[in-house]
Chains A and B, each alone.
Chain A
Amino acid sequence: MRLLSARLSARRRSPFAGLVVLLLGLVLTGGAFALFSPAQAESGQADQSTVAQGRTLFLVGCASCHGKNGEGIVTERGTQYGPPLAGVGAASVDFQVGTGRMPLARPGVQAERKKVLYNPDEIKALAAYVASLGPGPSIPTASQYSISGTDSEAVARGGQFWRTNCTACHNFAAAGGALPGGKYAPSLSGVTPKHMYEAMLTGPQQMPVFSDQVVKPSEKRDIIAYVKRLQSAPNYGGNALGSMGPVTEGMAAWIVGIGACVAFAVWIASHSVRSKKGAKA
């Protein structure tokens, strides 16, 4: 090491020293930028044939609402018929189409989760096409959302994030909840870790965005691990009644519990059977 620094020091006055330092600086800056630049700035780097296939699918299945070039369609009243798609990114497409929310069955306050209509290759092609319209969040890699190997500490940390950021809408047990005007936060049962990650990244419909710079990818993974642990945990106290809180529990207590008490009271006070045959007088 000392030898190296001695050598460098000896050559610092060489006519090429400035050039070498400049090149080194450029390479380091570029490398650092590539390392630290936000992931969502990457546009889809898919090859042209996939994009072309996606465009064909898009023109058939999506263009009637989102416009032929994904520019969106505005109604006469000035509201969005289908929003513009430039910049929504591949993650958004993968979430909306991959959970069956898109294509929409009918216009309404909210797109619901339903049967997925495209196969994985078609979804990939659609995502590639929409990603080519403008830079947006790309589909997270399995290493980002995979929860295998998360320990109890990570689950506990995820629980803290979950309670701070998610429970207000999605309910403490991820059972979902109502929002104004017929909208709702959906239940998270059966949602894959990838789609949960994409929802946080892109903020579908009324859901806010939780960007990777603020809720870090590792923290997102902890949240997913917590939800999955929550869902796989056995019901220690018997039937959770949908985890909806006091409404269903109160109804069960009133109808089943008080109903049983009333039935017993009626039985206790009722006349028992009488015999006609041997009146002793």
Chain B
Amino acid sequence: MTTHQEPEPGNDEAVATTAHGTTPAVVGDPIADPGLPPHEPRPTDVDPHAERRAERQVATLFGLSTLFAILFVVSYFVFDVGKNPTVIAGYGASNVALGVTLGLALLLIGIGAIQWARKLMSDVEIVEMRHPASSSEQDRADAVAALDQGISDSGIARRPLLRNSLIGALAALGLPAVVALRDLGPLPRGDLAVTVWKKGMRLVNDVAGTPIKPSDVEIGQLINGEPAVFFEDKPNGEPKFEGTRLNDAKTKAAIIIVRMKPEDITPPKGRENWGVEGILCYSKICTHVGCPISLWEQQTHHLLCPCHQSTFDLADGGKVIFGPAARSLPQLPIMVDSEGYLVAQSDFTEPVGPSYWERG
């Protein structure tokens, strides 16, 4: 408030000066402070009947809340859950009743409290003036003095040996953390580039594990498949894959098998013998961010990913025809084994699923 500058309407220079840091000063308040409006009492302040009515209202709300709390306990015990749940109008009675009663019990307490505050609690206008947010000059000077005192008492500036060895000790504390976090898991290394598929492994229907012959597959058919190894046991009777190892392997090896009319298919160069009589096999994992895809339109030969609408043309080498996916769907070369079942010619010839850093 040291420099006083008269703000003049229409004077651009005065505005420019204030923009450069001088505090705008208001002199002779152009709009008078209207002050507080005159206090008007509520009906409940002046009318004893209204006051009593409001009191009854609030008490009723609290009473209803109590009632619903009790009803909650009652419905907890009354309605059956489990195998033969009580059903009311197509809804599970227990869940709906518990939710409604507890919700109303809480809501009515809230409504009652607000009604109490609005109608009955003291009703006076309060003015609270603003004050500066910073501490006083004295407090700030004291704080800096205390910090300086600490630095000089500890002698940290005078004793670099202590200071540096302390910094070294704190940095060394990071080593146990790094060593412990290392065990969160090995780096994937080359695992992303390979799957469990190998030459001669049978293609089977997921869930059931049924091996598939070409004659079983009709034109327009879709089979959600997996490699047979997930359904096989070791000599000791335990499954070859189980637990997280099974899940990890399954997410990469999942396939879809489709059959189209051979004349509809235009195989890319070098893939002419990757199918069997119009039966083609592709990875089920979208090359965008790895959702499993099986929205197969048998008439258009399009495979649509439900997550981001990437669309692949399976009659055209799994080429992307729409959406954010950047690479074609990897194809698994297949053939028929000596017993007539569909088997893989090899593993996938490229990594399945979304792109990753090392893949380029």
Contact = CB atoms under 8 A, between A and B. Distances in A.
A279 B205 CA distance: 85
Interface string B294-307: 11111110101010
B41 A219 contact: no
A209 B90 contact: no
B207 interface: yes
Interface in B44-100: 45-47, 85, 87, 90-92, 95-96, 99
A213 B213 contact: yes
Interface in B200-234: 205-208, 210, 212-213, 215-224
A169 B295 contact: yes
A274 B217 contact: no
Interface residues of A, number: 42
A273 B297 contact: no
Contacts of B216: 211, 213-214
A214 B217 contact: yes
Interface in A206-221: 206-211, 213-216, 219
A238 B91 contact: yes
A277 B39 CA distance: 12
B198 interface: no
B45 A275 contact: yes
A203 B220 contact: yes
13 contacts: A205-B299, A208-B296, A211-B217, A214-B210, A214-B216, A214-B223, A234-B90, A234-B92, A237-B92, A239-B91, A274-B43, A275-B42, A276-B40
Interface of B: 38-43, 45-47, 85, 87, 90-92, 95-96, 99, 114, 118-119, 205-208, 210, 212-213, 215-224, 258, 292-300, 302, 304, 306, 309, 311, 322
Rank and list the top 4 A-B pairs by shortest CB-CB distance, nearest first: A208-B222, A213-B216, A236-B92, A278-B46
Given A214-B221, A273-B42, 12 more contacts: A165-B206, A206-B297, A209-B222, A213-B212, A216-B210, A234-B85, A236-B85, A237-B96, A238-B91, A239-B91, A274-B41, A279-B38
